[in-house]
Structure 1
Amino acid sequence: MIFSRKRADAERHTRDDQAVEVPDQGDAAPTLERGPYDISESYADVQRLDLGSLHIPAIAEVEVRVQADPQGVIQQVVLVHGDNALQLGVFAAPRSEGIWDEVREEIRQSLLSDGASAQEVDGEYGPELHAQVPTPDGPTNLRFVGVDGPRWMVRGVFQGPVAIDPAAAGPLVECLDGLVVDRGQEAKPVREPLPLRLPREISDQTDAEAGDAAAEPRQV
């Protein structure tokens, strides 16, 4: 299933070299100049696709591709722009500390054991992994980034030219910087994927189409 947002007037973020906190007035939460954001924080009010735990900015020319089960529970989210792609995941984390350092090392060890090369690099989101993975079609480059938030972690995997040239990310990085995470208040095991679901209108449409298909008479 593909959601395409091709809005010529889509609002875009101006991204600084590093995230900085801007002091706010009163009791309001501080405004962060780049995300991913927690839903409790202040962020730009732009159109976003609500997938439950992840709200993804609607950016011109970026397709949001999801794989969902028959109940509408999303198994995978991939953003695509041209030859580049960004796979997104969001996971529960403890209140006291982030988990990206530990997860990153586990990914590195897993890649090495599978015969891939993996190198830790200091990137725009902090420490990240650059990997080259053997495939039947030849080696594929991947770039793993992670962002720790309050009781959650967002993991992104860049594929395509952007995996070796972060400057090629274009609007994909705007999507990542504008993500909003709705963690919820319920307790969850650390590293458990946070629930993602199809928007209600899309889920209803899918159910209706499935019902129409089932109602069609069979030809014998």
Structure 2
Amino acid sequence: MFRRRRREESPAAKAAVDETPQVPARESGPWDADEPYPERERVDLGGMRLPVGPGFEVQLNLAGDQIVGAVVLFNESALQVHAFAAPKRSGIWDEVRAELAEGVKSAGGTAEEREGAFGVELAARIPAEGVEQPVRYIGVDGPRWFLRAVISGRAAQDAEVAATLEDVVRDIVVVRGDEPMAPKEAIELRLPPEARQAVEQQAAGGRRPDLDPFDRGPEIAEIR
């Protein structure tokens, strides 16, 4: 029996295949750093690559000296994002959502589940200065990580403004890393290289760092 020999690909053809850009398997994120994702302008915070856009101000959440989260301020609204380690074979959003709802109710607020842009989310109203403030809690389970997003201010009720911040969540890239971490342990973030250099130069000169190292793009400030 004779079989037709397979035609071998030339080295040039193989190189062309290798150079073909990888196409994301999903339409939107949040993305894992190990999967293909669309290129766009992002601030590299180490454990998270955060999309930036016109009119955005970016602040960092600090726990002591550790950067654990970021806040995007836009159009009288705030988007807080935190990334955490999660088990390899199961998500934690159901558990975290129940804990958040209990915490809100313990503080005198209300919370109810509803279907949102990323699946089930928590719509809450939290007492603040005698007024109930609307807040949306969003959770996304990824491979060995969990991303929590909190939308407050105008975007909590204005769908048009919320859409801009939801797009930020969709384009976040989470860099989990390979080191062992306990579930719910915060994935540590860091200042971008240019920001660290500016802070170090100011500290060396005896000036208090203002954490505003960018000539263009977002402002980096600290929240304690």
Relative to the length of structure 1, the TM-score reads: 0.79
Deviations 1:96-131 (CA, angstroms, capped at 9, x unpaired): 011001100111011111111111111111111111
Matched residue, 1:212: 205
Displacement of 1:171 in angstroms is 2.5
Displacement of 1:160 in angstroms is 1.1
Q: Is residue 2:179 matched to residue 1:186?
A: yes
Structure 2 gap segments, 5+ residues each: 1-19, 209-224
Matched residue, 2:50: 56
Query: Matches of 2:46 and 2:93 in 1, distance apart?
Result: 22
How many pairs are equivalent?
A: 188
Runs of 4 or more above 6 Å deviation: none
Deviations 1:9-66 (CA, angstroms, capped at 9, x unpaired): xxxxxxxxxxxxxxxxx9x685221110001111111121000111011222221111
Query: Matches of 1:107 and 1:70 in 2, distance apart?
Result: 23
Matched residue, 1:65: 59
Query: Matches of 1:143 and 1:109 in 2, distance apart?
Result: 15
SS in 2 for 1:32: coil
Among 187, 190, 200, the residue aligned to 1:197: 190
Matched residue, 2:216: none
Query: Matches of 1:177 and 1:150 in 2, distance apart?
Result: 15
Matched residue, 1:41: 35
- Answer yes or no: is the 8 Å Cα contact 1:66–1:77 preserved in 2: yes
Among 106, 128, 137, the residue aligned to 1:113: 106
RMSD, aligned α-carbons: 2.1
Query: Matches of 2:108 and 2:64 in 1, distance apart?
Result: 35
- Answer yes or no: is the 8 Å Cα contact 2:24–2:37 preserved in 1: no
Displacement of 1:168 in angstroms is 2.6
Greater CA radius of gyration, 1 or 2? 2
Deviations 1:138-170 (CA, angstroms, capped at 9, x unpaired): 221110000000000100000012213444314
Q: Is residue 2:136 matched to residue 1:139?
A: no
Query: Matches of 2:63 and 2:89 in 1, distance apart?
Result: 33
For residues 199 and 67 of structure 1, do their structure 2 counterparts lie closer, same or farther at Cα, with a shift above 3 Å needed?
same
Query: Matches of 1:82 and 1:169 in 2, distance apart?
Result: 10
Query: Matches of 1:209 and 1:195 in 2, distance apart?
Result: 23
For residues 67 and 91 of structure 1, do their structure 2 counterparts lie closer, same or farther at Cα, with a shift above 3 Å needed?
closer
Displacement of 1:137 in angstroms is 5.1
Counterparts of 1:160-175 in structure 2, within 5 Å, are 160-175=153-168
